Each structure stands twice: as structure tokens, then as C-alpha cells.
């Protein structure tokens, strides 16, 4: 038990206690710059969940995270599939993704600012002939968050795809199945849970991100995490920040739990026992946020 | 069947339609890769600009930005490096015994502890930063000592941020440790410290190195926690870049970004690849041993 002692103490003192105190802050009412009354009240939550502008804020947050995860899954699956099944450039691309994940998000966001803030053909391509610049728009933020989340998804999907026994698609081909059919009926069902798990991870990390929406949104794209940051650093409105934090946490938890529940009820792949051996999986893949595929 | 044996999905292609599909999927792949690399490429380009032009490429190039990097970035980088190292090592020291304890057991009790030790990864990291900030303020008014704005304060924040990743990696490896080696050592009279230091740790070494690397990188790249815990004279590189970029987008901040990218690709990536290869060999070796013995 002494093995666990220090860590338990650390968690209780340095994480749980601050978190509980912070959550309790959300129940106080702001009375001025940096001050708040000490009576318990739900007014912060009521404002956050009923005001029109705040509901729009919540919707923007959820929309950003959803769109990002879906796009990341689409792009990440294609790249991951290539990585897993093609030896030639596959490992080079995998290394590239490792490097991208380890690169600072601020640096990547800055790179996108450099691309999207000028009127050039790349911007024209992305906005399909629309606006002259993509900074300060929702689309610009989506582009940056997708490019930030995709390498992570690739890193999570490749081990899952590699864990599928090679014989299965080969047998399908020898029995006359086309490539598309094999992918749809064999590869996809076996890798589905890894993709969903990765998608949820991207969802959660996009919900937590505020540097990317801040740098690329130019003040016009508002998400919950940005509100928290502004509340604490600029407005000194701690109760509101705390309420926003709790709401953000609840949103992420609900989405993750909801998707896991829906997916878990159709878990037929479980029986096929496609499990990743711990020694081969990237550490991040094991940090499933209450979704353990299989 | 040898063509099919070379890898799933590579059937002998016959017919233009298949070839067309191949070309389309290759094209799509190239587009995706370009999409991923574009921000990095533009960071480089933007750092070299002499003057911003209306087109994709700047009108003139110069390396002046690299010479003009303000000193704050260097001191911030140094702080970030110290922070990454100390937070990772602290997490390692505290997590290793716990990981070894939890790794073997599958009961409900160990599950609870496991959930506890992964809990700080379940919340958005900004909440860790903000809650610690108000915690420090409160501590200052209650016990007179506040870690707000100090290195210690940042260290605590990074520790909480990074610890679940350290714990998960170590636990995954601890779960595959062969128990018979430890039992053999103990029956031969080894003390618990000896077993830890000379038997378990060498077996876990690649996981330890991999986890240290992951945690160091996560700590180095973090903004969400650090932004609220910095103070006068104590700031991290990511926060410095972020604050700078919020005000102006001069080539200097792009130059710092490029240096960061170089550091990642030149240092971190080869180390990570070595670790992965090493871990795969360990995994294969232990499987062989188990099957053979």
C-alpha cells in the first residue's frame, strides 16, 4: 500500500482538492472584478444554459469539436490505412505523424495563420472561391484543428489496423472479394472501435484547445475554453469561468459516454478478440476516455 | 497467391477502373499529407520573410529574424526544458511503484486506483490550470505561502497534467512483466529494493524512457496549464510564443517556431523510433520465450 501512498496523496492534494474548490466556485455569484459573494447560487449555470448568446457559444463549441473529429476520422483513416498496409512510405509517414503530434500546437496554429491570413490560392481553394482570407472565420479554425488532430488519430489507428490478422483480407481476396468489399466487410468492422475511440480523443482534445481558436479565430470565433481563459485572465470573473469549465467537462463527458454506450451495445467485434498487445500500442491509445474498445 | 501475400489489399489489379481508383486514392493521400505538412512549411517560409507579400510566397527573403529573437524566448525555453525534465522525473518516481502495484492486479480495488490516477487526463487541461491558479490564491490567503507564479507552481501543474500518461505507459508494461523472474529473485533471497532496481526496472527500461519522452514533450508543448501559472520572470516557451503571437506576427515568433520544429524532428522523433523498435523486439522476445518455454 505504501507503493500507492505518495501518488494518492499527490492526486488528492494537487488535483482533486483544487478541482472541487474550483467547481464550488461556480456556485458563487460574481460581485465585482475578482470578487464574489459566498452564498450558493445557480445563477451562473442559469445564465450559461439559457441566454441566447451563451447557447450559441455552447453550440459553436460542440459544432467545432464534432466537425473536427469527423473530418479527422475521414482523413486519418485513409492516411492510417496507407501507413499500416504499405511498407514503403508507411513508416516514413508514421514518423512524420509522431513528429507532428509532438510539435507545439501554437506553432502549428501559427503556421496556419501564415497560410490563411493572406489572399492566396490556398485560401481560395479551401473556401471554394469564397472569402479572401480565412483567419477570423470558423472554417479557418476547423482547418487548423483538423490538421492538429489528424496525426494523433493516425497514430492511434495504425496499431489497430496492424493488429488485424493478415490472413483475413487475404482469404477474402482469394475467395473473390473486391478490394472495396474487403474493406467494408472485414477491415472496417474490426478497426471501427479504434477509429471511434480515436475520434473521441480528438473530440476531447479539441474541446480543451483554446490557443488554436484564439489565434485563428481573431476574436470572432468563441468557444467555451476561450471563454474560460478570458474570464480568468481578462475579466477576473472566476465563478463564470468555473461554471463554464464544469459545463465543458459535462459536455465532453456526455458525448464520450453517449457514443461509448451506443457503440458498446453493438460490440460484435469483441468476440473476435482483436486486442492490441500492450507492448505495441502508443501510450496515448491506452488513454481511452472511458471508452475501452474491446 | 504470392502477390496477395505481400500485404492485404494488394490484389492483382486488372483493368483500368482499378488503376483509376488507385490513382485517385494515391492523389487523395498526397493531398492529405500536404495538408498536414502545410502549416510547418509556412512557418518556415514566414520566418524567412523580409516583407509580407499578397501572394503565397513573400517578396524577399532574409534570415534576419533568427538573429533578432528576443532574450525572453531563450530564458523561457530554458524554463520549459527544466520543467519538462523535472515534471517527468517526478511523475516517474511517484508512478513507478504504483504502476507496478496496479499492473498485476485486476480486482475492483485496483480499478478504482487506476481510475483515480488517470483522472486528471479526463478533464480539459485548461481546468487543471485554472483550478490550480485559484487553489494557489486561496492557499496564499490561508497559509501565507502561494506557489502562484513560481517554478514550483508550474511544476505542480505540469506534474498533474503529465502523470496519467506516465502511469498508463508504465502500467501497460508492468502488466506484461514476467512474474516468475521476480519470484525467482525473491526465493533466492533478494530484498524488495533489489527486485525493483535490478530486476523490474531493467525490464521496464524502454517503457520508462518512452514515457519520460512522452511526458517531457507534453509538458514542453503545454499552454493550457502554464498560461495561468506563470509569473514575473517565470514563463514557458509555448506561453511566450502564444502571448507574443497574440500581439504581433513578426517573423521572429515564426523563427522560434521553426527552431521548435527542428528540435522535435531532429531529436525527439529518432529517439521515439528507437524506442518503438526496441519495444516491439521486447514484445516479440517475451512472446517467443513464453511459447518456447
Q: Assign 3-class secondary structure to chain A.
A: CCCCHHHHHHHHHHHHHHHHHHHHHCCCCEEECCEECCCCCCHHHHHHHHCHHHHHHHHHHHHHHHHHHHHHHHHHHHHHHHHHHCHHHHHHHHHHHHHHHHCCHHHHHHHHHHHHCCCCHHHHHHCCCCCCCCCCCHHHHHHHHHHHHHHHHHHHHHHHHHHCCCHHHHHHHHCCCCHHHHHHHHHHHHHHHHHHHHHHHHHHHHHHCCHHHHHHHCCCCCCHHHHHHHHHHHHCCHHHHHHHHHHHHHHHHHHHHHHHHHHHCCCCHHHHCCCCCCCCCCHHHHCCCCCCCC
> Looking at chain B from residue 206 to 265, which residues have their Cβ under 8 Å from any Cβ of chain A?
210-211, 214, 217, 220-221, 223-224, 227-228, 238, 241-242, 245-246, 249, 253-254, 257, 260-261, 264-265
Contact A238 B134 (CB under 8 A): yes
CA distance B186 to chain A (A): 18
Residues A43-53 have pLDDT tens digits of 888 888 888 88
Contact A245 B126 (CB under 8 A): yes
CA distance B200 to chain A (A): 14
Contact B39 A87 (CB under 8 A): no
Grid coordinates belonging to A232: 480568468
Across A104-108, A119-123, B134-138, B165-169, least confident range? A119-123
Residues A222-268 have pLDDT tens digits of 889 998 998 888 888 888 889 999 999 999 999 988 888 887 765 54
Residue of A nearest to B267 (CA): A99
Percent of chain A with pLDDT over 70: 85
Q: How far apart are CA B219 and CA B163, in angstroms?
A: 10
pLDDT of residue A271: 42
The shortest CB-CB distance from B242 to any of A144, A211, A284 is to A211
* B139 lies within 8 A of chain A by CB: no
Model ipTM value: 0.81
> Looking at chain B from residue 153 to 172, which residues have their Cβ under 8 Å from any Cβ of chain A?
156, 159-160, 163-165, 167-169, 172
Across A19-28, A116-125, A174-183, A271-280, least confident range? A271-280
pLDDT of residue B1: 41
Residue of A nearest to B207 (CA): A279
* A223 lies within 8 A of chain B by CB: no
CA distances for A164 relative to A93, A161, A186, A252, angstroms: 20, 6, 9, 30
pLDDT averaged over consecutive 10-residue blocks of chain B (293 residues)? Answer: 42 54 80 90 82 56 78 91 95 91 82 87 90 88 78 93 92 86 86 84 88 92 92 90 86 89 87 76 59 50
Residue of B nearest to A95 (CA): B269
- Cα-based angle A89, A92, A96 (whole degrees, multiple of 5): 135
pLDDT of residue A178: 81
Q: How far apart are CA B84 and CA B95, in angstroms?
A: 16
The shortest CB-CB distance from B36 to any of A4, A110, A147 is to A147
Q: How far apart are CA B254 and CA B249, in angstroms?
A: 8
Q: Does the reported pTM lie above 0.80?
A: yes
Q: Could you tell me which residues are beta bridge partners of residue A32?
A: A35
pLDDT of residue A131: 61
Amino acid at each position: 500500500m505504501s507503493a500507492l501512498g505518495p501518488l494518492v496523496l499527490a492526486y488528492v492534494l494537487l488535483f482533486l482538492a483544487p478541482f472541487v474548490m474550483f467547481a464550488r466556485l461556480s456556485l458563487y455569484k460574481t460581485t465585482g472584478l475578482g470578487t464574489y459573494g459566498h452564498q450558493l447560487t445557480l445563477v451562473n449555470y442559469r445564465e450559461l444554459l439559457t441566454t441566447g448568446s451563451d447557447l450559441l457559444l455552447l453550440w459553436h463549441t460542440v459544432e467545432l469539436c464534432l466537425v473536427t473529429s469527423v473530418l479527422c476520422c475521414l482523413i486519418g483513416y485513409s492516411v492510417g490505412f496507407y501507413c499500416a498496409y504499405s511498407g514503403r512510405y508507411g513508416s516514413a509517414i508514421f514518423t512524420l505523424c509522431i513528429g507532428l503530434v509532438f510539435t507545439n500546437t501554437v506553432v502549428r496554429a501559427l503556421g496556419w495563420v501564415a497560410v490563411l491570413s493572406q489572399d492566396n490560392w490556398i485560401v481560395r481553394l479551401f473556401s471554394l472561391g469564397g472569402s479572401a482570407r480565412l483567419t477570423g472565420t470558423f472554417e479557418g479554425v476547423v482547418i487548423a484543428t483538423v490538421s492538429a488532430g489528424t496525426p494523433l488519430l493516425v497514430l492511434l489507428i495504425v496499431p489497430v489496423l496492424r493488429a488485424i490478422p493478415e490472413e483475413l483480407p487475404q482469404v477474402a481476396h482469394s475467395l473473390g472479394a473486391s478490394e472495396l468489399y474487403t474493406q467494408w466487410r472485414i477491415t472496417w468492422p474490426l478497426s471501427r472501435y479504434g477509429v471511434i475511440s480515436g475520434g473521441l480523443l480528438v473530440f476531447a482534445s479539441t474541446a480543451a484547445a483554446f490557443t488554436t481558436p484564439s489565434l485563428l479565430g481573431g476574436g470572432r470565433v468563441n468557444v467555451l475554453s476561450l471563454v474560460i481563459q478570458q474570464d480568468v485572465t481578462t475579466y477576473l470573473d472566476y465563478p463564470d469561468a468555473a461554471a463554464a469549465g464544469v459545463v465543458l467537462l459535462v459536455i465532453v463527458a456526455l458525448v464520450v459516454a453517449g457514443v461509448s454506450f451506443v457503440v458498446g451495445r453493438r460490440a460484435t467485434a469483441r468476440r473476435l478478440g482483436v486486442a492490441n498487445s500492450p507492448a505495441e500500442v502508443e501510450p496515448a491509445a491506452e488513454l481511452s476516455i472511458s471508452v475501452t474498445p474491446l | 497467391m504470392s502477390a496477395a501475400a505481400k500485404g492485404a489489399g494488394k490484389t492483382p489489379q486488372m483493368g483500368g477502373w482499378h488503376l483509376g481508383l488507385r490513382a485517385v486514392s494515391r492523389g487523395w493521400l498526397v493531398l492529405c499529407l500536404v495538408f498536414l505538412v502545410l502549416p510547418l512549411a509556412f512557418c518556415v517560409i514566414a520566418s524567412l520573410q523580409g516583407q509580407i507579400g499578397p501572394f503565397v510566397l513573400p517578396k524577399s527573403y532574409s534570415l534576419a529574424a533568427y538573429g533578432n529573437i528576443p532574450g525572453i524566448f531563450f530564458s523561457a525555453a530554458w524554463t520549459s526544458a527544466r520543467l519538462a525534465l523535472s515534471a517527468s522525473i517526478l511523475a516517474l518516481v511517484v508512478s513507478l511503484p504504483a504502476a507496478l502495484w496496479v499492473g498485476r492486479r485486476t480486482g475492483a480495488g485496483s480499478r478504482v486506483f487506476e481510475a483515480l490516477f488517470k483522472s486528471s487526463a479526463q478533464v480539459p487541461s485548461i481546468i487543471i490550470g485554472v483550478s490550480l491558479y485559484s487553489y494557489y490564491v486561496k492557499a496564499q490567503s490561508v497559509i501565507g505561502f502561494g506557489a502562484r507564479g513560481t517554478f514550483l507552481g508550474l511544476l505542480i501543474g505540469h506534474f498533474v497534467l503529465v502523470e496519467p500518461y506516465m502511469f498508463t505507459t508504465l502500467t501497460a508494461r508492468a502488466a506484461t512483466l514476467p512474474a516468475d523472474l521476480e519470484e525467482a529473485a525473491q526465493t533466492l533471497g533478494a530484498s524488495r529494493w533489489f527486485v525493483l532496481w535490478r530486476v523490474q526496472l531493467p525490464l521496464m527500461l524502454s517503457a520508462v524512457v518512452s514515457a519520460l519522452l512522452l511526458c517531457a514533450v507534453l509538458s514542453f508543448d503545454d499552454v493550457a496549464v502554464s498560461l495561468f501559472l506563470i509569473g514575473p520572470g517565470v514563463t514557458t516557451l509555448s506561453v511566450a510564443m502564444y502571448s507574443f503571437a497574440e500581439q504581433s506576427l513578426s517573423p521572429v515568433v515564426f523563427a522560434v517556431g521553426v527552431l521548435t520544429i527542428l528540435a522535435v524532428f531532429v531529436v525527439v522523433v529518432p529517439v521515439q523510433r528507437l524506442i518503438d523498435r526496441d519495444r516491439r523486439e521486447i514484445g516479440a522476445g517475451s512472446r517467443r520465450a513464453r511459447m518456447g518455454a
